[in-house]
Chain A
Amino acid sequence: MIEFDAVRKEYPGGTVAVAGFSLRVPSHSVVALVGSSGSGKTTLLRMVNRMVEPTSGAVRIDDVDVRSLDPVGLRRSIGYVLQAGGLLPHRTVADNVATVPVLAGRSRREARADALGLLERVGLDPALADRYPAQLSGGQQQRVGVARALAADPDILLMDEPFGAVDPIVREQLQAELRALQAELGKTILFVTHDVDEAFALADEVVVLRAGAEIAQRGTPTEILAAPADDFVAAFVGAGTARRTLRIRELDGRRVVVDGDDRPTGVLEADAREGAP
């Protein structure tokens, strides 16, 4: 469990990135922070692994204040996926994935061997192991970033717009893969994105942020879509737009769901409740 307790961050120069933020991220759940650029998402994420120290307030992991932990050890115990992969350009794929175990003292040979298994796990051909990051596509780099974050088998994953730099198709694919991986691994994931669809696709709980990391609304994707708290959230999730206002059209006894522009998005299946006598 990650707990933000009234944290505030004022950068030198006076920018208040986080005005006062409290949140509990339950173990084994995925919480997404969504907000526009500059709303303090990255700052919040970095408070967890002490890359940013809060001006006031505290961050606790399983009831332990992170300030009482050695920052380097703390960072090795938490997986961090950076925007655009954040890979080390001078290290091969296998060495990138092996980074944390090697820093923690594991032999390079063993860590590289483990890395091959992790590459497969994130959907990469282990034949890529000896390439350098510059020789990979954006989507492949993102996968390596995820594999690296998983290498030390951390309980917590911090993901900062991990799929921000890839095209929409690869992005959806990566999201699906992350969901499958999470179903298997059950990590505690704090995920940052400015794409509300990505947050809805991945998170158990979504936290919509205004400037200064002020919480505009939090809830399950369904709750937020069903009842946006105010105009800001409504605009942010696109409530009322053609894409979000679906209707049913009947055609030969099949019920087709169409959006506000009458574009079909899918077919409505009778669910178990409805089908029961």
Chain B
Amino acid sequence: MTWLSQNLHIVWGLLADHLLLSVPPILLSLVISVPLGRLAAGSRRWRTPLLTGTGLLYAIPSLPLFIIIPAITGFALRSPATIITALTLYGCALLVRGAADAFASVPEDVRLAAEATGHSRWASFWRVELPLAGPVLLSSLRVVVVSTVSLVTVGAVIGTASLGTLFTDGFQRGIEASILTGIVLTVVVAVVLDALCVLAGRAAMPWRRTVSA
């Protein structure tokens, strides 16, 4: 506890860094995966290449990816951009399939009802398909949130500051309190972001409460 009170400002700073590295890839992978997932769900031709292609991304180990990305994009090795790009790729690896499953879960008769009542394709997507894909999409998103928050810590190995820095530093200098703080806070961040997703989902999908509650 004394270690923590003496290093509180450092811990706060690392917590902020951690959030700044976690939230953008989560949002980016959502924005990228929803249209790709819709495409995969709606087109037999695109389905296999999209799902296989993005699924394979997950097979790339994270440390090599942190090194390949700067080589391809020209970002600095330790820059947030490198971590954000890598984690967005991992997020998409999970979410494209999740989004494809989510759109496939929209009942065909509801899709037809939307068409019959004069929804344009655009209106059908925003007003009918996306909301009804919501529950399945949300459950994939929650997996991405938790995995992204934990993967951010790996960046500490290449020297990008985050809560992971508390473990790498703690190990090197033999400070148990630092290691413990890093672990606990990483879990807390994951749990809080996950809870926010659940709350946002409840607010955005009020009909669910009447059905499944």
Contact = CB atoms under 8 A, between A and B. Distances in A.
A80 B110 CA distance: 13
A100 interface: yes
A82 B201 CA distance: 29
Interface residues of B, number: 19
A135 interface: yes
Contacts of B112: 51, 82, 86
Nearest to B121: A72
Contacts of B203: none
A86 B113 contact: yes
Interface string B109-124: 1101111111110010
Given A86-B110, A88-B110, A88-B128, A80 B117 contact: yes
A76 B118 contact: yes
Interface in A85-109: 86-91, 99-100, 103-104
Contacts of A74: 118
Interface residues of A, number: 27
A131 to B, nearest CB: 8
Contacts of A82: 109, 112-113, 116
A260 B129 CA distance: 53
Most chain B CB inside 10 Å of its own CB: which residue of A49, A72, A90, A132: A90
Interface string A124-137: 00000001101100
B118 A72 contact: yes
B117 A75 contact: yes
A75 B109 contact: no
Contact of B120 (A72, A80, A134): A72
Contacts of A148: 117
B210 A135 contact: yes
8 contacts: A49-B116, A72-B118, A74-B118, A82-B113, A84-B109, A86-B116, A100-B117, A148-B117
Interface of B: 109-110, 112-120, 123, 128, 131-132, 205, 207, 210-211
